[in-house]
Amino acid sequence: MFTAVLTEGPISRVALARRLDLSSAAVTKAARPLIEMGYLEELAATERTGPGAGRPASPLAIRADREFFVGVKITRDELIGVVCDLRAEVRASAHRRLAATDVDHVLTELGELVDDLLDGPGDYRSRTRRLGVAISGDVDHSTAQVRYSPFLRWRDVPLGERAGKITGLTTSVENDVKALTTAEQWFGEGVGVDSFALVTVGAGIGCGLIVNGRLVSGSHGVAGEIGHIGFDVDGPECHCGSRGCVEAVAGADAIVRQAREGTGRPELTFEDAVTLARSGDAAVGAVFARAGTAIGAGIAAVANLVGPARIVVSGEGLSAYDLFEPHIRASFQRQAFGAAADCPLSIRALPFEQWARGAATVSIKDLVGS
């Protein structure tokens, strides 16, 4: 019940009972202790409970400031942290640069970032018990362990345990794309949608899947890794050990490498490559075209296998999306089977603060237990 009010409220008891197939009395009984603990509140009556009913309904709503949650997104060169309320609204944010990526250094910086957020304006510490951390790679959410993070070169790191000791907060750890997908499911594009996919374009190519209203992790926790779908069996080597993966063709590092090879300029950055492609450089333009084709094929594979109601495309790579888009869409249309080609693709720019919000949302979800 609490989850329904959290993601869909304010909502009347009658509507909530109908939504959950419960009696109004059962809803009232379940709501009472949550109201007493300060997690729910009754709003002013705004509607009648039914035809001919004499007493207007008093919708139930979340008291968003009852508890706060810290979310941190770890990249290879910085930490992005936020404080969120129970509705996952960002109340404060901060960035912290990383001078190194070894576990000890990152954890030290993470502890200082959390202290900065909780001890700054807002008096959040007294009402904060939980921390969510989002990181790329193979993450076991159930044990809060990072099994493998290629960009940080971490293996078998008990991140939840170690972060919890440093911060004093109960810590949840999740793959960053899955965390972002959770936030979209509960508070964004996925509210009210039974199935959708979130594809991220950037340093890696990721995908979060919601099927039958639930986040799909798979038996091994790596479901949705479309970046490692084979695109070209004779393509470049991938950091995963395979060859020709979507990510090996379309990830930011792969684009830079190919652009350097095409121009003979070893100092070229991703931003330089974007500028050259937009100015009409044929060789670099072809790199982005091939990357878009690979991404479109990966998205089509998701549509063919899962059949989501919609697919959201996001990630830091959207800064160059104009170079990808026609090739993504053409490849998607070519590879999607039958009616899967009708699946709408929506583009949503989500800065790293939203990824940190996703980490906080995972900690909210773990608290609620849904």
Question: Residue 55's pLDDT band (boundaries 50, 70, 90)?
Answer: low
By residue count, the chain amounts to 370
Q: What are phi and psi of 98, to 5 degrees?
A: -110, 125
What are the tens digits of pLDDT across the range 326-352?
A: 999 999 999 999 989 899 888 888 888
C-alpha distances out from residue 67 to 84, 130, 358, Å? 9, 9, 16
Q: What is the pLDDT of residue 370?
A: 54
Q: What is the pLDDT of residue 49?
A: 46
Q: What is the pLDDT of residue 81?
A: 98
Q: What are phi and psi of 168, to 5 degrees?
A: 75, 10
Q: What is the pLDDT of residue 192?
A: 79
What are the tens digits of pLDDT across the range 69-110?
A: 999 999 999 999 999 999 999 999 999 999 999 999 999 999
Q: Residue 15 belongs to what H/E stretch? A: helix 13-20
What are the tens digits of pLDDT across the range 349-363?
A: 888 899 999 999 999
- Residue pair 15/36 in contact (Cβ under 8 Å)? The answer is no
In the chain, the domains with their CATH numbers are 2-62 (1.10.10.10), 67-182+353-368 (3.30.420.40), 192-347 (3.30.420.40)
Q: What is the pLDDT of residue 346?
A: 85
- Residue pair 98/85 in contact (Cβ under 8 Å)? The answer is no
pTM summary value: 0.86
What are the tens digits of pLDDT across the range 269-301?
A: 999 999 999 999 999 999 999 999 999 999 999
What are the tens digits of pLDDT across the range 197-238?
A: 999 998 889 899 999 988 888 776 667 788 999 998 888 998
Query: Which tokens sit at 80?
Result: 């992005």
What is the chain's mean pLDDT, rounded?
90
Q: What is the pLDDT of residue 46?
A: 63
Q: Give residue 106's identity as a one-letter amino acid code.
A: V
Rounded mean pLDDT, 42-47? 74
Beta strand residue intervals within the chain, DSSP E: 40-42, 47-48, 56-57, 60-62, 68-74, 78-84, 90-97, 128-135, 138-140, 145-149, 154-157, 170-175, 196-201, 205-211, 214-215, 310-314, 345-347
Question: Residue 240's pLDDT band (boundaries 50, 70, 90)?
Answer: confident
Residue 174 has pLDDT above 90, yes or no: yes
